[in-house]
Structure 1
Amino acid sequence: MVDFSTRQTLVNASPMDCFEVVVDFEQYPQWAPDVKEARVLRRDDSGAGGLVAFRAAAMGRSVSYTLKYFYGTNPLRVAWRLTEGDQVRQLDGEYEMAPAGEDGAKTLITYSLAAELTVAVPGFVKRRAESRIMLTALDQLRRRIEALAAERARPAG
């Protein structure tokens, strides 16, 4: 059974700053605690990651999966589809960044995910895993973006 989730967070950084962190796949292990490895296997014509292999910790196991990324015409949206996974049947989703606040210096990030595991697990385990994924996908991402934005704003010296 496919589980769908959508959540949002407000980030104190520009939409482009947010987008740059979202598509910097090789850095995911630096801010996403469960992601142990992220390798870009193929880039698109613009140099953006098109096919990315991940190894992550999930429910006491190591999970490997490969995602194909789509950028489309909205420069502040990235979507992905699972192409291969050892313990997931579906792992499709998207991040969308929208300017927020009066001066556009904030961003509302919407994260959507459709996931299905290859093995049956109890509902409470699924809910705990979903909560952890959403925490990383939004809270840890927000912290990473805001920390990098603060570094850039700090005067050189």
Structure 2
Amino acid sequence: MAEHTRSSITIDATPAEVMAVIADFAAYPAWTGEVKEIEVLETAEDGRAAEVRLLLDAGAIRDEHTLSYTWDGDREVRWTLVRSQMLRSLDGSYSLAPLAGGRTEVTYQLAVDVKIPMLGMIKRKAEKVIIDRALDGLKKRVEG
């Protein structure tokens, strides 16, 4: 597996409240920026998405891909790439840890491998931008 890029943020909400926003795929276009379309293709027994198709448009990068999701209650969600036009692999996770005062530390981890050649330093910088935008958007959505 590729090297992971990781970042964390503290959100003024419980893990259950944060995970509810993460699990609400229909709302992603409203707060993620790059996600333009989303379709839940398969749902797990617990009612959460098991496989999701996303259409991303990040300016120079436009891709449609399908991700498979695995949920561990309100503690963690992991995803892995099923298919994509531009990506060879995409593995990520949100890990939620409860903090005092009803707050949550959210750690986002991501490893992306593209089909086109790309320097490792540039790839990690892109991963960091994706993670930071996602964490900022998640914080605003949950706390807003």
Residue in 2 that maps onto 1:108: 105
Identify the residue that residue 54 of structure 2 maps to in structure 1.
Answer: 54
Counterpart code for 2:77: V
TM-score (norm 1): 0.84
Q: Which amino acid aligns with 1:61?
A: I
Aligned alpha-carbon RMSD (Å): 1.8
Which residue pairs with 1:85 in the alignment?
Answer: 84
| 1:32-61 deviation digits (Å, cap 9, x = unpaired) | 111111110111112111100001024513
Q: In the alignment, residue 85 of structure 1 is paired with which amino acid?
A: S
- Higher strand proportion, which one? 2
With 123-132 and 112-121 compared, the bigger mean Cα shift is at: 123-132
Greater alpha carbon shift after TM alignment, 126-135 vs 7-16? 126-135
The letter of the residue matching 1:39 is E
Query: Matches of 1:24 and 1:76 in 2, distance apart?
Result: 16
The structure with more radius of gyration: 1
TM-score by length of 2: 0.91
Could you list the structure 1 runs, at least 4 aligned residues long, displaced by more than 4 angstroms after superposition.
122-125
Give the conservation status (yes or no) of the 8 Å contact 1:37–1:55. yes
Q: Deviations over 1:64-115 (max 9, x none)?
A: 110011114x4321111111111111111111111112x3x10000111111
